[in-house]
Structure 1
Amino acid sequence: MTERSSQAGSPKHRGLRGFVQDNGLGLFFTAAFVLALVGQAFAGHADFNNQMAADQLQQISLGEYVTTSDFAVDVSENWQSEYLQFFLYVGVTVWLLQRGSPESKELHKAGTESDEAQLVGEYAQEGSPRWAKVGGWRRAVYSHSLLLVMGTVFLLSWLVQSITGTAAHNEQRLRQLQAPLSWADYLGAADFWNRTLQNWQSELLAVASMAVLSIYLRQRGSPESKPVGAAHRATGVEG
Structure 2
Amino acid sequence: MPRFIRDNGLTLFFLLLFLCSLAGQAVAGFAEFNDQQLVQGGATITFGDYLTSSDFAVDTAENWQSEYLQFLLLIYLTVWLVQRGSPESKPVGKIGPESDAEQRVAAHARPGSPDAARLRGLPGTLFGHSLGLLMGAVFALSWLAQSIAGRAAYNAQRIEQLQDPVGWLAYVTGADFWSRTLQNWQSEFLAVASMAIFAVYLRQRGSPESKPVGESHGATDAGD
For this structure pair, what is the TM-score category when the shorter chain's length is used for normalisation?
over 0.9
What is the Cα-based RMSD across aligned positions, in Å?
0.7
Q: Report whether the alignment pairs 1:218 with 2:203.
A: yes
Counterpart in 2 of 1:137? 122
Match for 2:96: what amino acid?
A: G
Q: Name the CA distance, whole Å, in 1 between partners of 2:161 and 2:36.
A: 13
Normalised by the size of structure 2, how large is the TM-score? 0.98
Counterpart in 2 of 1:154? 139
Residue pairs, 1:181-200, within 5 angstroms: 181-200=166-185
Match for 1:36: what amino acid?
A: S
Q: CA deviation at 1:97?
A: 0.4
SS in 1 for 2:209: coil
Q: Deviations over 1:138-188 (max 9, x none)?
A: 111111111111011101100000000000000111111111111111011
Normalised by the size of structure 1, how large is the TM-score? 0.92
Counterpart in 2 of 1:122? 107
Q: Report whether the alignment pairs 1:59 with 2:51.
A: no
Match for 2:200: what amino acid?
A: I
Q: Name the CA distance, whole Å, in 1 between partners of 2:215 and 2:116.
A: 37
Q: Report whether the alignment pairs 1:77 with 2:77.
A: no
Q: Name the CA distance, whole Å, in 2 between partners of 1:236 and 1:136.
A: 32
1:25 to 3, 10, 26: 10
Match for 1:174: what amino acid?
A: I
Counterpart in 2 of 1:8? none
Counterpart in 1 of 2:34? 49
Q: Report whether the alignment pairs 1:166 with 2:154.
A: no
User: 1:122–1:133: 8 Å Cα contact kept in structure 2?
Assistant: yes
Q: Report whether the alignment pairs 1:100 with 2:85.
A: yes
Question: Stretches of 4+ moved more than 3 A in 1?
Answer: none
| Larger Rg computed on CA atoms | 1
Q: Name the CA distance, whole Å, in 1 between partners of 2:44 and 2:100.
A: 61
Counterpart in 1 of 2:94? 109
SS in 2 for 1:93: helix
Q: CA deviation at 1:189?
A: 1.2
Q: Name the CA distance, whole Å, in 2 between partners of 1:214 and 1:186.
A: 40
Structure 2: tracts of 5 or more residues without a match? none
SS in 1 for 2:80: coil
User: 1:121–1:135: 8 Å Cα contact kept in structure 2?
Assistant: yes
Equivalent pairs, count: 222
User: Percent sequence identity over matched residues?
Assistant: 58
User: 1:103–1:236: 8 Å Cα contact kept in structure 2?
Assistant: no
Match for 2:206: what amino acid?
A: G
SS in 2 for 1:94: helix
Q: Name the CA distance, whole Å, in 1 between partners of 2:130 and 2:49.
A: 37
Q: Name the CA distance, whole Å, in 1 between partners of 2:28 and 2:178.
A: 24
Q: Name the CA distance, whole Å, in 2 between partners of 1:94 and 1:184.
A: 34
Q: Name the CA distance, whole Å, in 2 between partners of 1:107 and 1:184.
A: 43
Q: CA deviation at 1:236?
A: 3.5
- Greater CA deviation, 86-95 or 122-131? 122-131
